[in-house]
Amino acid sequence: MNQFPIVLSAPSGGGKTTVTKLLMQRRADLGYSVSCTTRPPRPGEVDGVDYLFVTEKQFIEHRERGDFAEWAVVHGKFYGTLKSAIATVLEGGKHVMMDIDVQGAAQFAAIWPGAVLIFMLPPSVEVLLGRLQERNTEDGSTLLTRLKSAHAELQVVSRYHYVLVNDDLETAVARVSSIIDAEEVKRERIRALDSQLSGLIATLDLEIKRHS
The pLDDT tens digits for 36-93 are: 999 999 999 999 988 999 999 999 999 999 999 999 887 789 999 999 999 999 999 9
Residue 169: Cβ within 10 Å count: 12
Residue 111 sits in a domain of what CATH number? 3.40.50.300
Answer yes or no: is 61 within a domain.
Answer: no
Question: What is the rounded average pLDDT of the residues 138-142?
Answer: 51
Range of the domain at 17: 5-32+95-211
Answer yes or no: is pLDDT of 133 > 80. Answer: no
Residue 52 inside a domain? The answer is no
190 confidence band (pLDDT: 50, 70, 90): confident
Residue 200 lies in a domain: yes
**Cα gap 133→70, rounded to integer Å:** 27
3-class SS letters over the chain: CCCCEEEEECCCCCCHHHHHHHHHHHCCCEEECCCEECCCCCCCCCECCCEEECCHHHHHHHHHHCCEEEEEEECCEEEEEEHHHHHHHHHCCCEEEEECCHHHHHHHHHHCCCCEEEEEECCCHHHHHHHHHHCCCCCCCCHHHHHHHHHHHHCCHHHCCEEEECCCHHHHHHHHHHHHHHHHCCHHHCCCHHHHHHHHHHHHHHHHHHHC
Domain presence at residue 77: no
Distance CA 58, CA 64 (A): 10
- Per the CB < 8 A criterion, the answer to whether 86 and 68 are in contact is no
How far is the C-alpha of 126 from the C-alpha of 98, rounded, in Å? 27
Whether the pLDDT of residue 192 is over 90: the answer is: no
Is residue 43 in a domain? Answer: no
**Greater confidence, 193 or 46?**
46
Instruction: Report pLDDT for 142.
Output: 67
Structurally, how many domains does the chain consist of?
Answer: 1
Domain membership of residue 54 (yes or no) is no
In the predicted model, is pLDDT for residue 134 greater than 50? yes
pLDDT for residue 168: 92
Asked if the structure places residue 16 within a domain, the reply is yes
Q: Is residue 59 part of a domain?
A: no
Rounded distance between C-alpha atoms, residue 46 and residue 33, angstroms: 14
Q: Answer whether residue 1 shows pLDDT above 70.
A: no
